[in-house]
Amino acid sequence: MTPPDLNARPSKDAYRSILSLWLAGLAPNTRGAIWMLGSALAFTLMTALVKFLGAGYSASVQTFYRQAAALLVLLPMMARDWRGSFHSTRPWILLFRSSAGTLAMTLGFYAFQKLPLADANALSFTRTLWLVPLAGFVLGEKLGPLRIGASVVGFLGVVIMLRPTGSSAAFGLPQAAALGSAFLFALTIAGMKVLTRDHKPFTLLVWSSALGLVFSIPMALLSWRWPSLTDLGLLIAMGVLGVMAQACYIKGMQIGDAAAMAPIDYMRLVFAVAVGFLVFHDIPQLATLLGAAVVVCSTLFITWREARDNRRAAALID
């Protein structure tokens, strides 16, 4: 029998096994928090690349590369069952959701190009606030006074953020794009809640990526520019980071409790302030930080209430 080589380095599979065992020994919320931190970091790096490349590549061109990267990542899994990956009983809703998501991404990228990272991130958090009226009108959910009140307070925080200099001139096209992007993303989330009743999450992801790529082509052609080899690498990295952020977010929410995971997602704002200051020399306005704090507190309250109501409903069913 050959004795083991004590000087040999562990293989990659061994490192993965050690990491898996370590993660398995942690509490679900702790594991979820790690995934959520990974999502926040990947999202911040993606938006930093969006802003860095924004001088030469329009938001629509960046959206094209983001969707192309997502589809490339999904292709190996789609190849196992092409028909099953696209199977849907309600394709028209998926078409609408994908078109809204593509427009939301384009508007969001434009906002990240034009605004400081902290401002754009703070305004992107309003999607939770938009979900409150959409839950009532689209999903038919009953809205209590506390959820409505929290939503109103949250939008007051938006008003604070949009007047950092004390004048109405603070509101412009980039801010409008950020709010429009948040609203459209909230609309896609509402659509996802409807579709997950009879669709697998992977199917929704496939439709979103495939149709998103198709829908992004016309807008990208209007401002198309062939990238240099270096820029192409950065655009692909931006797309891959976007997929990683989405995948880590889904994994974190799947493992941990939603009310516990929501605060971790707001680390995006902390990362954005740090990267904005170190890379782009952005110094956030006091009004931005105050308004963001109001929005974060409001959305956390809404998330906590929804998670509590879901637990109560599940307890009644059991």
Chain segment 232-279, per-residue pLDDT in tens = 999 999 989 988 888 888 888 778 776 677 778 888 888 999 999 999
The alpha carbon of 308 is separated from its chain's Cα centroid by a whole number of angstroms, namely: 23
The phi, psi pair for 22, rounded to 5°, reads -65, -45
Whether the per-residue pLDDT at 88 is higher than 80: the answer is yes
Q: Half-sphere exposure of residue 286, counting CA atoms within 13 Å on the CB side? A: 2
Q: Half-sphere exposure of residue 267, counting CA atoms within 13 Å on the CB side? A: 18
What distance in Å separates the CA atoms of residue 191 and residue 204, rounded to the nearest whole number? 10
Cβ proximity of 71 and 242 under 8 Å: no
Question: Which is more confident, 317 or 251?
Answer: 251
Of 32-36, 137-141, 174-178, 262-266, which has the strongest mean pLDDT? 174-178
| Domain residue ranges in the chain | 38-317
Instruction: State the DSSP H helix or E strand holding residue 185, giving kind and residue range, or none if neither.
Output: helix 173-195
In sequence order, the 6+-apart residues with CB closer than 8 A to the CB of 107 are: 59, 177, 178, 180, 181, 184
